[in-house]
Structure 1
């Protein structure tokens, strides 16, 4: 952790709601005139899209599984090294993973490939990471120890499966059966490397549907935000101003001494209400140190 060069990390799997957090942070950074270094977790994949397909087939031929949830498919040592260098000096290198044709036109590299590594802009106030491994701890790396504010964003697992099935079938042309096989293959890495991060987070935002998702594999629709609640859990309740939250977020209530429940349609607002004062404190400590 670093007062002079703070790091914020948002960790959660694709479709979990990390994009909502990213938009909330963008709004906060703009209002507060904060210049972040934005790091995308996909940029630390070990293989580009074609190489990942080939490596996955190679693993399967050996009776093993390779997924983006696990360390074999990611350069977690480089992620840890970036967090360490940034926390100590405010410097480091970054690149981007090009997801689609729109990004390809923007960055001049083919979809499924990486842009070259380049030094981060030294004119910055903090580093903000969004991806799968912002708080990962293994026998080889400890990324979490460098993070000043670690945020977990995760739906209940049935909802996560529903979102993946719908997204992959609609956007990637997969069959439902193929997506189910992907989910099953990823499950060991999800259990061993994704879930444990949420015990290290300072704050978790968990989306819980209020409709029946007992069989996610036959669900015809993704529950809407208004058909959900957001459970916000603080590892240390002393960092939370619960009376303020309850006053600002209509329909919210406390379910435990460290947990507040918010209507799903207010997720973005809840993130701003909860996180803005924390960002203020981080920036105030940074200014006092400088």
Structure 2
């Protein structure tokens, strides 16, 4: 952890709602005149698209499993060093994963499914915002939570996550529903052993729960809307960030406490809840930076 150069981590699967958290934080940074360094975890994938597909196919031939959720699929030592170095110096090294030909052209002419070269972060940023799958991984070799000042988990209930993935991959990426289902099944061991344990290490979790029937996510025609959902917000230790539950309950209509460290809110109020929760945390981190600088 760092008082001078805070590291904030959002972790969760693609499609889980990380974009909403990133948008909330970047808007709050603008209000506080902070310049964030945004890093996406896809840049720390070990393999480009073609090699990843080859590795998956090889594993299937051997009767093994391999997926984007696997520890071996990511450069976790490099990611740990990215967090550690930024916290110590305010500078670090990162790269981009290229999603499309247009994106590759904009970044310098790189093919889709590859990476840009590693580059040094620009000077003058105030905090690191990391968004990706493995931000709270802890193993015998790496300890990413050690270097994070705030860990945020975004994890819809599993049926909703599957619905969102099926809809995204079929509508935006042209996959067949049965192919997406195969991917979900192949990833399951890594989801259980790698992804899910991270949410026990996060400081704050946002879990969206639909209020409509999602019993069979593989035939669902629509993604439940925010107004058809509630969000459970769990604070691992409310004292760490001096969470004012009375203030949250007063500002968020229809909210209630389900446990001593958990508040349930209507899904349509998630962004307001993020603003109310994250603004005092950011202000406290900024105050800590100023105090450390004065010394």
TM-score (norm 1): 0.97
Shift of the 101–225 alpha-carbon distance from structure 1 to 2, 3 Å rule, reads farther
Map 1:197-208 to 2 at 5 A: 197-208=198-209
* Other-structure match for 1:29: 29
Whether 1:257 aligns to 2:257 is no
- Match of 1:174, SS state, is coil
Match of 1:276 among 255, 259, 279: 279
Shift of 1:103: 1.7
Task: State the distance in 1 between where 2:175 and 2:107 align.
Answer: 27
* Other-structure match for 1:87: 87
Shift of 1:147: 0.4
Task: State the distance in 2 between where 1:179 and 1:32 align.
Answer: 41
Task: State the distance in 1 between where 2:86 and 2:105 align.
Answer: 30
Shift of 1:105: 3.2
1:150-170 Cα offsets, whole Å, 9 max, x none, are 000010000001111111111
Task: State the distance in 2 between where 1:170 and 1:86 align.
Answer: 37
Shift of 1:63: 2.1
Whether 1:243 aligns to 2:246 is yes
Q: Greater shift after overlay, 183-192 or 58-67?
A: 58-67
Task: State the distance in 2 between where 1:245 and 1:101 align.
Answer: 44
Whether 1:231 aligns to 2:220 is no
* Other-structure match for 2:141: 140
Shift of 1:29: 0.8
Task: State the distance in 2 between where 1:147 and 1:99 align.
Answer: 27
- Match of 1:124, SS state, is coil
- Match of 2:131, SS state, is strand
Q: Greater shift after overlay, 242-251 or 145-154?
A: 242-251
Q: Greater shift after overlay, 20-29 or 237-246?
A: 237-246
Shift of 1:98: 1.2
- Match of 1:160, SS state, is helix
Task: State the distance in 2 between where 1:237 and 1:30 align.
Answer: 26
Runs of 4+ more than 4 Å apart? none
Map 1:82-231 to 2 at 5 A: 82-108=82-108, 109-231=110-232
1:126-163 Cα offsets, whole Å, 9 max, x none, are 11100001111122211111100000001000000111
Shift of 1:241: 0.7
- Match of 2:263, SS state, is strand
* Other-structure match for 1:286: 289
- Match of 2:155, SS state, is strand
Shift of 1:119: 0.6
Shift of 1:249: 1.4
- Match of 2:128, SS state, is strand
Q: Greater shift after overlay, 152-161 or 83-92?
A: 83-92
Q: CA RMSD in A?
A: 1.1
Task: State the distance in 1 between where 2:107 and 2:219 align.
Answer: 39
> Aligned pairs, how many?
290
